Amino acid sequence: MAGINRSGDLANPQKSLPLGTLSAIGATSLVYLTCLVLFGATFDNLFARDRWVTPGAGGWGDSVFRRHVAITTIAWPHMNVFFIGAVLAAVGAATQALVGAPRILQAVAQGAGITGLAPFARTSARGGPLRALMLTAGIRMGINLSTSSLWIIVSTCFLVSYGAVNLASLSQSYRKTYRCKYHHWYVGLP
């Protein structure tokens, strides 16, 4: 779904989106499977079954204050690399949402014909959705939600949009005139 937010900038989205999506899924699967094999080769069987490890106690113990997540013991060059990576991944996802939301609003304003959103369809001199960005920033500042309730709303919106994409994909499989070489009916199942 990350590329859909920026699909308006592509020269040929009909060709690029399926190819890019399938390439991203393939690359991610390859990285995950490689990590799975490497972690399986690094941890012993008993150690891999426990999520927590206590340093200096042979891998197991009862000290709550000295326990660490097991994957941090193989993080190089320091165990905090794992946590820094997790924080950077979260910041990257938040940045992507901040960049994508105004572009989605701009696309809806351009294509939906909703009269109240027509001013937000315009772009700045550099091609960015400045008015849509100002509206989304204003909505966020106006609501002034706490971070925990904001993530609930964002997660719900993403789940609803994923469900809508699945439903649209599934409904297209029943049309006899629609043919795409990358599409099969089971793609639309959640």
Tens of pLDDT, residues 119-131:
888 888 888 889 9
| Structure confidence by residue, pLDDT tens digits, 27-80 | 999 999 998 888 888 777 666 666 666 555 544 444 444 566 667 777 778 878
The candidate with the shortest Cα–Cα distance to 131, out of 114, 143, 119, 115, is 119
Together in a domain, 116 and 85: yes
Number of domains present in the structure of the chain: 2
Together in a domain, 137 and 150: no
Residues whose CB is less than 8 angstroms from the CB of residue 187 and which lie 6 or more positions away in sequence, other chains included: 169, 170, 173
Together in a domain, 163 and 173: yes
Share of the chain above pLDDT 90, in %: 5
Domain that holds residue 155: 146-190
Asked, for residue 10, whether it belongs to a domain, the answer is: no
Asked, for residue 127, whether it belongs to a domain, the answer is: yes
Together in a domain, 130 and 87: yes
Asked, for residue 51, whether it belongs to a domain, the answer is: no
pTM value > 0.85? no
Asked, for residue 91, whether it belongs to a domain, the answer is: yes
Together in a domain, 126 and 163: no
Together in a domain, 125 and 154: no
C-alpha to C-alpha distance for 123 and 129, rounded to whole angstroms: 5
Tally of CA atoms within 13 A in the half-sphere of 150 that contains its CB: 11
| pLDDT for 148 | 65
Asked, for residue 125, whether it belongs to a domain, the answer is: yes
DSSP label of 53: E
Asked, for residue 65, whether it belongs to a domain, the answer is: no
